[in-house]
Structure 1
Amino acid sequence: MPRFQEILLVLGQLNYTWTNTESLLIYLIAGLAEVDKETAIVIFLTLNTTRARIELVERLAKLQKTPPDRRRAILTVTDQLTRKAKLRNKYSHCIYSFDESGSSAKTQLMRVFDAKDEIRYGKMEDLDDAEIEKIRSYIFDIREINETIWRLVRQYSYPC
């Protein structure tokens, strides 16, 4: 498979796995807020960032009515998801460039970095074999988080 297609495939897998897993926050919202799934979907969709959705779940978990063991389990999974969001955000908010043959790829971050007396922007990085393996590892980790959330939803009998 040409490098260009390999990169598109792995980035597509990252995006799909992330989106699928983030949507499971709906069930945690439903259970923790004690609302039905439809109401939780409206809440989830009203919050327009991953960070806001995770923060809502964390805040609901921290309410006194949430048993301590449940709170710990949910906060552990949201912490894992937050850590994995960094790589997902990197690859969702960059520009990709390939050489003429499609075999060499780079990312250019779409961020401005303010220094004391100058700005820098568009940090470029190689998208090499090591980085692709890192993405694949993250995909595996996100799938494990997905399984953990499903286990918690079933364990606590949250609305599905």
Structure 2
Amino acid sequence: MRTDLPAAPDFDAIQPPKGEAALRQTQILSLIGNLGLSWSNNESLFVYVLMLLLRTDEVTAALVFGTLNTSRARLDLIRRLASVKLTDPAVAQTLERLIRRFNATTKVRNDLTHAMSEVNAAGEITHTNTMRIVEHGGRLGLGTRRPMDDARVRELTDVNRQLTRLNRDLWQFLPVLAACLDARVSAAPDRAHGSQSQPWSRA
């Protein structure tokens, strides 16, 4: 079976960009790097959301968080726990909004971290190809090819700003969530002075 391979780049012709092109390349790489760092920092804050919902310690929460190998699975667990642990609708709605904002930035992050970049002869990143299988006109192929143009740079700049705001809002939300969960525990009936259930046994 013949395998069609793309032509190898002309590595001798590719040179690091200079002048204005070098400044733009630095800008693009900085935006991509900052996006990855900010996204990871925001995802890590959900460890503390999980810690509060489980009423456990940081290490245990991190173990549970890391055992689930996708962000989607981690946030799904948080949503499920919140549905049974949070009795304050306002706090529950705030958490849901924070998760949705994080998910919106995740799409952009995934498009870049799971993409192959095209570089021209001047050493500039010109396009990205998403490394996922999609269908084009009834044929399967690699994902969307997008230009790294001014509109894309503005998009990355805006997403980085969103991640910065999200980080601040997550930090502000954590003590609110803790107070809500503490109030729920305080309002629970004192089992020590109430009726105790009998252990299950066979007749």
Using the size of structure 2 for normalisation, the TM-score is 0.72
User: Unmatched 5+ residue regions in structure 1?
Assistant: none
Q: Which moved more, 1:108-117 or 1:6-15?
A: 108-117
Q: Which amino acid aligns with 1:11?
A: I
CA change 1:151–1:116 in 2 (3 A) is: same
2:128 paired residue among 96, 107, 119 = 107
Structure 1 runs, 4 residues or longer, greater than 3 Å off? 114-117
Does residue 31 in structure 1 map to residue 49 in structure 2? no
What number of residue pairs does the alignment pair up? 158
**Greater Rg by CA:** 2
By how many angstroms is 1:7 displaced?
A: 1.7
Does residue 12 in structure 1 map to residue 33 in structure 2? yes
Percent identity over the alignment is 27
For the Cα contact (< 8 Å) 2:127–2:147, is it kept in 1?
yes
User: What is aligned with 2:153?
Assistant: 132
Matches within 5 A, 1:83-102: 83-102=104-123
Q: Deviations over 1:92-147 (max 9, x none)?
A: 11001111112351101111113674213243110112101111100110111111
Q: Deviations over 1:11-65 (max 9, x none)?
A: 0000001001110001100111111111111111111111111111111111154
Q: Which amino acid aligns with 1:140?
A: R
CA change 1:117–1:132 in 2 (3 A) is: closer
User: Unmatched 5+ residue regions in structure 2?
Assistant: 1-19, 180-203
User: What is aligned with 2:73?
Assistant: 52
Q: Which amino acid aligns with 2:83?
A: K
Does residue 76 in structure 1 map to residue 72 in structure 2? no
SS of 1:125 mapped into structure 2:
strand
Q: Which amino acid aligns with 1:106?
A: H
Task: Flag the structure with more relative contact order, 1 or 2, with Cα contacts below 8 A and sequence separation at least 6.
Answer: 1
| RMSD across aligned positions (CA) | 1.8
Give distance in 2, aligned partners of 1:148 and 1:6. Answer: 26
